[in-house]
Amino acid sequence: MMHDTLPAGAQIRRDMVAAIPRLRAFAVSLCGNPDRADDLVQETLAKALLNIKSFTVGTNLLAWLFTILRNAYYSEFRKRRREVADIDGSLSATLISKANQDDHMEYLDFRDALQKLPPDQREALILIGASGLSYEEAADICKCAVGTMKSRVSRARSRLSELLQYDPGSGQSHLPASDPD
């Protein structure tokens, strides 16, 4: 006889699997590297499964997972402080082929602009804008006041508009022409 509802543990695991794309998007926004982001998501899920008994059923699983991911990222960040950084992206730019499509180039411009935001603003923008969390949930994850979260998102949006030279009146981005190689 089959039941319409799954046991709590099985449902949590299904919800965790469903959260993977959102976790990955958040991880990419934090570290800017898809491979590192995948490792970070894997580490997050492993930690969550190991500590599943500490999760309170009925609370926000996604917020709990985002908190684990954020803490794992900052722990990793502290460990990697002594690595040589590729701040301007010149090394990583040599490893990719040039895109032929405008949409892809606009995506790259957006990604670069997003990485230029301060980490707290980038994190806030991704949690609110891309992950669909409420300001309250995002503030709880980042351990700050709701007003601080709103301010970070506002500043992030303004700075992105500046970096992308976005004109809200026209709805168009006026990106500077890229230098030919």
How far apart are alpha carbons 178 and 21 in whole angstroms? 31
CA dihedral angle for residue 150, residue 138, residue 25, residue 110, rounded to 10 degrees: 10
SS3 state of residue 124? helix
The closest alpha carbon to 47, from 81, 75, 11, belongs to 75
Place of tokens 């351990």: 143
Q: Can you give the pTM of this predicted structure? A: 0.52
Task: Tell me the pLDDT band of 8, cut-offs 50, 70 and 90.
Answer: low
Please tell me the distance from the alpha carbon of residue 131 to that of residue 143, in angstroms, as a whole number: 17
The alpha-helical segments, DSSP class H, found in the chain are: 8-31, 34-50, 61-79, 90-93, 102-116, 119-125, 135-142, 146-163
Give 78-111 pLDDT, tens digit per residue: 776 666 566 666 666 666 655 566 777 777 888 8
- Domains of the chain, first to last: 7-80 (1.10.1740.10), 102-174 (1.10.10.10)
pLDDT at residue number 138: 92
Q: Is 173 helix (H, G, I), strand (E, B) or coil?
A: strand
Q: Please say whether the beta carbons of 110 and 131 come within 8 A.
A: no
pLDDT, mean of residues 151-165: 91
126-137 pLDDT, tens digit per residue, is 899 888 889 999
Provide the token pair at 161: 């508009």
